[in-house]
Amino acid sequence: MRLLVIEDDATLRESLAAKLEENGFAVEQAADGKEGLYFALEYPIDLAVVDLGLPEMSGLDIIREARRKGKAFPILILTARDRWEDKVDGLDAGADDYVVKPFQFEEVIARVNALLRRSGGWASSVMNAGPVTLDMSRQELVVNDEPVDLTSFEYKIIEYLMVRAGQVISKTELTERLYDQDYERDSNVIEVFIGRLRKKMDPDNTIKPIETLRGRGYRFALERGETA
C-alpha cells in the first residue's frame, strides 16, 4: 500500500517513512503543505499521514481540499497540541484519526493498519475469510491454522487484495500501490508473484483465494468471515 507522509521536520519525516517502509508500505514524503496537497491529489495514495502545523499550507487546509476534490483515502493527523479543539477541527475537516506528538512509532503503525483495514470494510484487526486469516499488526498470514512464509512483496500483495476483499484490483493498481518508485515495472512480474502466492497459500488448489478476471485484474474471492 502506498502511504503519503506530510511532515516538515526532516528527521521525523524520514524516520517515520523508514519505519513505515519496514512495515511493508510504499511511502511518499512531502515536506510542506503545498507539496503535500499536490501528492495527495495527484498520486495513487491509500492513506495519508498529515502533520497539522505545516509551512505553506496548514494540514487542515490540505485535508479539506483533498476531501473537497473527492479523495476518500483515510487520513491520520499528527497533532502537537492535544487539545480537543484541535483534534475536533481535524476530524471535522475530514481526518479519520489522530496521533499526538511525540508518538511511539508502534502507535502510528497500529493506527495506520486499523485505518487501512477500516477503509476496506474490516472491523477487526485480524482479517479472516474462510480458512485464511491475516494479522496486519504482525504481518502474518495463516491458512488452515498453518502460518504461511511469505516474502515482503508477496505479503504486500495479499494484504492489499485481502483488505479490499471482493473488489477487483487491476495489475496497474497493484504496481502503483506496491512498488516504492518504479511504476513502469513489467506487469508480468505481478503475475509471477500472484502465481507464487497461490502456490504458497493453496498448494492443493482447493481454496482458490485469488481469482483472475481476464483483462481486469485480480480479486480476493473468499467470503469475509466473522471477526476474530
Partner 1 sequence: MSSLSARLLISVSILLLFFFGVTGVVLDTAFRKAGEQAREDVLEGHLMAILAAAEPSDNGDLVMPPDLQESRFSAIGSGLYAEIRDSGGNTVWLSRSALGLAIPFGLVSQDGSRLFREESFADGTPLLTLSIAVQWEFPDGELRPYIFKVAESLDSYNAQVAQFRQQLFGWFGAVAVIMLIAIGVLLGSLLRPLRQIETQIGEIESGSRQSLAGEFPTELQGVARNMNILIDSERARSERYKQTLANLAHSLKTPLAAMRALISQTRRLKQADRFNEQIDRMDEIVRYQLRKPAASSGSLMSVVPVAQEIDRLIEGLTKVYHDKEPEIRADIADGAQFRGDKGDFLEVSGNLLDNACKWCARRVLIAVQPDAAGLVLSVSDDGPGIPDDAADALLQRGTRLDESTPGHGIGLAVVKDIVRSYGGDLTIGESELGGAEIRVTLPAA
For partner 1, the binding residues (CB under 8 A) are 7-9, 11-12, 15-16, 18-19, 51-53, 78, 80-88, 91-92, 95-98, 101-105, 114, 118, 123-125
C-alpha cell at 40: 495527495
Q: How far apart are CA 106 and CA 185, in angstroms?
A: 31
Q: Which residues lie across from 212 on neighbouring strands? A: 218
Q: Which is nearer to partner 1, 80 or 213 (CB)?
A: 80
Q: Which is nearer to partner 1, 118 or 198 (CB)?
A: 118
C-alpha cell at 96: 479519520
Return the SS3 of 100. strand
In angstroms, give the least distance from the CB of 224 to partner 1: 15
In angstroms, give the least distance from the CB of 189 to partner 1: 31
In angstroms, give the least distance from the CB of 32 to partner 1: 14
- From residue 137, alpha-carbon distances to 8, 11, 25 in Å are 27, 25, 13
C-alpha cell at 181: 518508485
Q: Which is nearer to partner 1, 84 or 145 (CB)?
A: 84
Q: Which is nearer to partner 1, 74 or 217 (CB)?
A: 74
Tell me the Cα Rg of the chain.
18
Q: Which amino acid is at 21?
A: E
In angstroms, give the least distance from the CB of 8 to partner 1: 8
For strands 210-213 and 217-220, give the pairing. antiparallel
Q: Which is nearer to partner 1, 114 or 174 (CB)?
A: 114
Q: Which residues lie across from 5 on neighbouring strands? A: 29, 49
Q: Which is nearer to partner 1, 8 or 176 (CB)?
A: 8
In angstroms, give the least distance from the CB of 113 to partner 1: 11
The count of residues in the chain is 228
In angstroms, give the least distance from the CB of 80 to partner 1: 4
Q: What are phi and psi of 143, to 5 degrees?
A: -125, 125
